Structure 1
Amino acid sequence: MTYDSGNYEAATARAKDLFGYDELRAEQAARRESKDPVQLGIGVSTFTEMCGLAPSRVLGSLSYGAGGWENAAIRMLPTGKVEVITGTSPHGQGHETAWSQIVADRLGVPFEDVEVLHGDTQVAYKGLDTYGSRSLVVGGEAVVRAADKVIEKAKAFAAHLLEANPDDLEFAGGRYTVKGTDQGVGITDVALATFASHNYPEGLEPGIDAEATFDPDNFSFPHGTHLCAMEVDTETGETRMRTYVCVDDIGNVINPLIVEGQVHGGLVQGIAQALWEEAIFDDNGTLVTGSFVDYTLPTAADTISFVTENTTSPATSNTLGTKGVGEAGTIASTPAVVNAIVDALRPLGIHDIRMPCTPERVWRAIVSAGSHDGAAADAAQPHFHDHAPSNADPGATGEGSAQ
């Protein structure tokens, strides 16, 4: 497999600018010099991901249980409405909106006249579903190809209605016109004419509906740079997120608002893994965080406003030029946050903290570092080993009192 496209340096440079990287490093140095009890850490996370789960031949070589293709169909109704049947199953990603945008743009019909049908095998009986950041990259491309087939099928009927040669027709804005003239007919008018079947070319079946199955030749490879600044109180172990910036390259963007929502959701999920979420079992193997009373699931009130932006390197594996975005925030945010916390505590000789980095777990790491390295402990105020309980176990999880 070969990376399709990307500009890694551009994403990193833009993220540094938005983040104020040099200024934050200067502030970090000043806090370390003054032995401020609240230290500042900067976490860096860059990633390149394999998305758009496909192609079938590659998946077969990996003993995968299914193919990587996706199917779509388009029905042109006599009412002028358009039905799009997709094998992908959205559960909050906005497929209905994006697919409607694609079809409305391709066929030149009003956005509100497009209905996307999915999730019912009696309606959409062919498809491999939604996973691996593949819906738009593979399923969206299948929709594009089905729309192109509709346009091509309708051209023969339009030419017959206009008494013209199909090769003399142009299609734009939902309308077929004879080159160099103002003679034309809309694609929805063609749909109505083929439904009525009063006048259509011999040798053709009445109807311009079409379906397409797309099996890409390669995966898509989105990438990004995520930067996180965390403040860590070395006296209590409390952590506070100061700034989070990410610049992702997901190829061409169909709907910026949907993309921003996908990134925000992914960021919070990844940040939660770094700071809060954990399945805890007692000595008997019983899950003690089996409800949201005991399991910390963050809300918007627990996070900050993120700064998100995109660079654009169109994918080469589909005509839309799109790459997967659903997993970008989740992949990059967890290491960015943990790296920032560890960076803040690096002068104490701390090089790793097991997730989630709860205040107690951070505090215990500080205590442990001070107990084993007096010189490192001198870098923080006060000397934490003086305050540690005599029976403190640096390796204990201690989540019960973390909050």
Structure 2
Amino acid sequence: MGQLGARAGLYDAATVRVNATGSISVMVGAHSHGQGHETAFPQVVAEMLGIDESMIDIVHGDTSKIPFGMGTYGSRSLAVCGSAMVRATEKIINKAKKIAGHLLEASDADIELKDGQFTVAGTDKSVAWGDVTLAAYVPHNYPLEDIEPGLEETAFYDPANFTYPSGAYACELELDPETGRVTIERFAAADDFGNVVNPMIVEGQVHGGLAQGIGQALLESCVYDENGQLLSASYMDYAMPRAEDVPFYQVDHSCATPCTHNPLGVKGCGEAGAIGSPPAVVNAVIDALHSGGYTQVDHIDMPVSPHRVWKAMQG
């Protein structure tokens, strides 16, 4: 980011605080405004520890409680903040293994964590997650003098590179030659987002992006008069896409090529639909015009409104 001239880093931070009862509070720097952090973030921590997701509470948006974070933008929340959360959880596991090893009278190097149980490798000796977290708050029964009471860790994650999702989008539409009106009949989106933590959230992100991109391609426009006065300053004048403007989508993200430089192997998905859909729609309009004999039309500015399509055909 420094090489690109940015004055802010792309890092993010997370603090994982394990309570004596085994429940967890995860303080994250990326704030959610509908992306589903409260669902996906606990899934990551729960899988690492082998505990139920209901035991994990995500805390964000309160600067008196969370470490400094860079927020949520650029489809970065899981790839960057989620990776910081992984690093903090790894620290939790390392300390918990030392405590478990003490309770089981074994070396922490021989302790394995699976399904919420700390087990001595190759034996049936084990201790539960809740017993270890409780022991973390009983300092007189600690394995080493240099281990501090409690079970809380903070980690920062600064990505070595961007993530590079890829995809292919196809749009089928019909064009009314009498009015220039465009109707989208079918739309298919296939994306590679790397490892997917929550398929439903990813599909919802793609659906929202497709609606946004279709709106940009066909409807949305800022219009100014000759004096610079904005004429489309309210939703009475600015055309947002509605349910009748978009089709049912065919969405696929099953071909996963994991990202190689973050611990989750995830790639950004939030803006994919909005990036791939406008050119697919506009190209389909041009293709429809060519199939109707209007081969001289090779470009139309967005939004591809009925008036612009009709005017292009008249030209």
Contact 1:271 1:333 in 2 (8 A): yes
Distance of 1:147 and 1:250 partners within structure 2: 23
For residue 215 of structure 2, what is the aligned residue in structure 1?
A: 272
Structure 1: give runs of 5+ residues left out of the alignment.
Answer: 1-58, 369-403
1:295 to 2:242 alignment: no
Distance of 2:194 and 2:242 partners within structure 1: 30
Q: How do residues 74-153 of structure 1 correspond to structure 2 at under 5 angstroms? A: 74-153=16-95
- Structure-1-length-normalised TM-score: 0.75
- Structure 1 range deviating more: 327-336 or 59-68: 59-68
Distance of 2:259 and 2:193 partners within structure 1: 8
Distance of 2:31 and 2:131 partners within structure 1: 31
For residue 224 of structure 2, what is the aligned residue in structure 1?
A: 281
Higher RCO (C-alpha under 8 Å, 6+ residues apart):
1
For residue 261 of structure 2, what is the aligned residue in structure 1?
A: 317
Q: Pick from 154, 166, 169 the counterpart of residue 108 of structure 2.
A: 166
> Secondary structure of 1:234's match?
coil
Q: Which amino acid aligns with 2:160?
A: D
Moved >6 Å (runs of 4+): none
1:234 to 2:177 alignment: yes
Contact 2:18 2:151 in 1 (8 A): yes
- Structure 1 range deviating more: 296-305 or 113-122: 296-305
Specify which structure has the higher proportion of helix: 1
Q: Which amino acid aligns with 1:169?
A: I
Counting aligned pairs with the same residue, the percent is 48
Q: Pick from 285, 293, 308 the counterpart of residue 341 of structure 1.
A: 285
Distance change >3 Å, CA 165–CA 125, structure 1 → 2: closer
Structure 2: give runs of 5+ residues left out of the alignment.
Answer: none
Distance of 1:164 and 1:312 partners within structure 2: 39
> Secondary structure of 2:54's match?
helix
The offset of 1:329, in angstroms, is: 0.3
Contact 1:76 1:188 in 2 (8 A): no
Contact 2:139 2:148 in 1 (8 A): no
Contact 2:184 2:245 in 1 (8 A): no
Contact 2:91 2:153 in 1 (8 A): yes
Contact 1:84 1:116 in 2 (8 A): yes
The offset of 1:198, in angstroms, is: 4.1
Distance of 1:138 and 1:83 partners within structure 2: 19
Instruction: Write the deviation string for residues 340-389 of structure 1: whole angstroms up to 9, x where unpaired.
Output: 00111123111111111111111111111xxxxxxxxxxxxxxxxxxxxx
Q: Which amino acid aligns with 1:71?
A: A
1:359 to 2:303 alignment: no
Distance of 2:243 and 2:45 partners within structure 1: 34
> Secondary structure of 1:345's match?
helix
Structure with greater Cα Rg: 1
Contact 1:69 1:214 in 2 (8 A): yes
Distance of 2:34 and 2:229 partners within structure 1: 33
> Secondary structure of 1:336's match?
helix
Contact 2:42 2:58 in 1 (8 A): yes
Q: Which amino acid aligns with 1:128?
A: M
Q: Which amino acid aligns with 2:222?
A: A
Contact 2:27 2:67 in 1 (8 A): no
- Structure 1 range deviating more: 340-349 or 243-252: 340-349
1:304 to 2:251 alignment: no
Distance of 2:239 and 2:228 partners within structure 1: 20
Instruction: Write the deviation string for residues 75-127 of structure 1: whole angstroms up to 9, x where unpaired.
Output: 00012211111111111111111100001111111111100001111111311
- Structure-2-length-normalised TM-score: 0.96
Q: Which amino acid aligns with 2:194?
A: G
Distance of 1:222 and 1:190 partners within structure 2: 40
For residue 249 of structure 1, what is the aligned residue in structure 2?
A: 192
| CA RMSD of superposed structures (Å) | 1.2
The offset of 1:200, in angstroms, is: 1.2
